[in-house]
Chain A
């Protein structure tokens, strides 16, 4: 079956630190992979996505590369800001259940000045 595993949080970093949030997946087919972000009091917003192996998604300084050999889609940012404080969710969808997304448990990030 399909599933997503994210690193446990919470994560606390100082401003301008390097961020990595690990995500690995299990899928029956060839999934698309996504990172969503949820700011306090809001719904989830798409941060970036990758639809095939070796694709790199990027947005707002965040990057993630679709690694089929390690079934991973780790989120990285070179220099975090206080405004990046949020909960980050890794997710997948595959061609067999195109409408159905499988989400990880979320990783809470707090960036301190």
Chain B
């Protein structure tokens, strides 16, 4: 596999469920990101990891819990979500912290919270 992969591609969960989203990058990058994409809104950066260390947490509710066991894998653990959390969740990676380094995106997980 190449690039950035995400599983599952679609997820439907109830508000009391616990689920996890998985992201894997095969690019040798050292930074990984979670974004939330909702209709008519800019992409919202949720979390940033550099060399497995979390460096950004943009006021994300505690019902979203990230985990980065190594530079290639990133998880987003979900519990007691709300219907307004339904969105496309995108994972991305980049090499380093230079401002001109592009971010590479996965295809996303379409999450529906009932």
Interface residues of chain A, those whose CB is within 8 Å of chain B, are 4, 31-32, 34, 36, 41-46, 49, 51, 89, 93-95, 98-106
Contacts and interface: CB of A to CB of B under 8 A. Distances in A.
8 residue pairs, one from A and one from B, having the closest CB atoms:
A43-B105, A98-B97, A51-B100, A103-B43, A32-B100, A44-B105, A98-B99, A93-B99
A93 B102 CA distance: 9
Nearest to B32: A99
Interface of B: 4, 6, 31, 33, 40-43, 45, 48, 50, 55-56, 90, 92, 94, 96-108
Given A100-B48, A101-B45, A103-B43, A41 B107 contact: yes
Contacts, number: 60
B103 A104 contact: no
Contacts of A105: 40-42
Contacts of B48: 99-100
A28 to B, nearest CB: 12
The residue among A51, A94, A103 with the most chain B CB atoms within 10 A of its own CB is A103
A93 B48 CA distance: 14
Given A101-B103, A103-B42, A103-B43, A43 B97 contact: no
B45 A46 contact: no
Contacts of B33: 99
